[in-house]
Amino acid sequence: MPKVSILLPTHQSGAHLRETLDSIKAQTYQDYELLAVDDASTDQTLEILQEYPDLRIRIIQGRNRGLADALNLGIKCAQGQYIARIDADDLMVPERLEKQVCFLDTHPKVIVCGGWQQYFGLSTFLHAPPASAEQCRANLLFRCDLCHSTLMLRTAALIDHNLFYNPAYAAEDFELWTRVLDVGDIANLPEILGYYREDGKSITTTKKEMLIRQNGEIVAASLKRNLGIVLSEKQKQYFTGWTNPFYPQKEAYAGQRADAWSDLRTVFLNIYQSNQEIGYYCEAALLKTLRAEWTRLRYQLPFLLPDQEVSPECLFQKVSGLEVVMRKGMSFQRNYRGIYRKYRKIRSILQK
């Protein structure tokens, strides 16, 4: 039986599939099978898969019920000790499988191992989630800070603990990782393991609306399960991910904003104090995450972990206007994300 099952869901994936398969073929680690779960493709997807007999491809007919169902079907069919995720328009670096197999072989408590992902196409963003299991656990309280298309999973752990993707969630991956943490660790190799194609078609408007709403629900579920904290419907809105409903700089929102910041501070202190009793999160990692999330919500800054340790007294320390501008500028310089995409959108509006 192969050591690794590469899980590749496909649906009308012909445009970039050859590049993905070529990156798999170039792997330095060759003890794998490739499971292609195809959801009723009518383009050249199946023909392209058949062009690569040396990749030991097993084509599984999906049930055309969406990504979560296709991934669950692939997990149940996997013969490998580990499952390596890849999407049909993304790429692997040649050493990816080799490095992740080595890591999981020597870290038995880690159920999910990921890495960094470099965006290409319409974006130059580098998604570099934290390496340590402690910081990954803390960050997953508020966001899916993992690169799904770089992950390698322990097959037996998923099957034994009934850890499958929930089709009810648009963020099916985020919801799953929050449950994985109940039975093991998640960690990342601090290096680029994959390339993510940003073509402006990754998220539909309908799905984005679901992601925004459900992110707060996933956060609330984690807090209740891990720390016994129950959020109100209003408090769930603080953690919707893309938007912050209490930030608008209009006079009509002034009182609402002040109340929201005070309430959010109370929520964060409750999280910190409850964790001191329960110990689900590493305290130092949790404080860094809370500080990063506070500055994101309060000042609309990018989610960025502080370089230094954070004390409880510094959790809500004020950020000056000059520092806000500088940090946004530095973030723009490092990750000038989607510049060309924004340019094309503006140009199309002007042309109309």
Residue 114 above 70 pLDDT?
yes
Coil/strand/helix, residue 154: strand
What b/e sequence results for 315-347 when a residue is b if at least 16 CB atoms lie within 10 Å of its CB, and e otherwise?
ebeeeeeeeeeebeeeeeeebebbeeeeeeeee
Residue 251 neighbours by CB distance under 10 Å = 7
Q: Where in the chain is the domain with CATH 3.90.550.10?
A: 4-198
Closest of 218, 253, 241, 245 to residue 302, by C-alpha: 241
Tens-digit pLDDT profile for residues 272-323: 999 999 999 999 999 999 999 999 888 888 889 999 999 999 999 998 888 8
pLDDT band at 100 (very low <50, low <70, confident <90, very high): very high
Residue 80 confidence (pLDDT): 98
pLDDT band at 335 (very low <50, low <70, confident <90, very high): low
Coil/strand/helix, residue 109: coil
Query: Residues in the chain, how many?
Result: 352
Residues 144, 219: contact at Cβ < 8 Å? no
Task: Please determine, looking at this structure, whether the domain spanning 4-198 carries the CATH number 3.90.550.10.
Answer: yes
Residue 190 confidence (pLDDT): 97
What residues does 168 pair with on adjacent strands?
Answer: none
Tens-digit pLDDT profile for residues 131-154: 999 999 999 999 999 999 999 999
Residue 340 above 60 pLDDT?
no
Q: Tell me the torsion sign for CA atoms 223, 224, 226, 227.
A: positive
Task: Say if residue 352 is exposed, middle or buried (CB neighbours under 10 Å; 0-12, 13-18, 19+).
Answer: exposed
Provide the whole-model pTM.
0.90
Residue for token pair 């950020």: 319
Residue 78 confidence (pLDDT): 98
pLDDT band at 343 (very low <50, low <70, confident <90, very high): low
Closest of 220, 221, 216 to residue 243, by C-alpha: 216
Integer CA distances (angstroms), 164 to 10, 71, 219, 233, in order: 18, 8, 18, 27
Q: Which two tokens stand for residue 293?
A: 């999330």
Closest of 70, 1, 2 to residue 36, by C-alpha: 70
17 DSSP assignment: H
Residues 6, 194: contact at Cβ < 8 Å? no
254 vs 62, higher pLDDT: 62
- How far does CA 85 lie from the centroid of its chain? 13
Residues 39, 62: contact at Cβ < 8 Å? yes
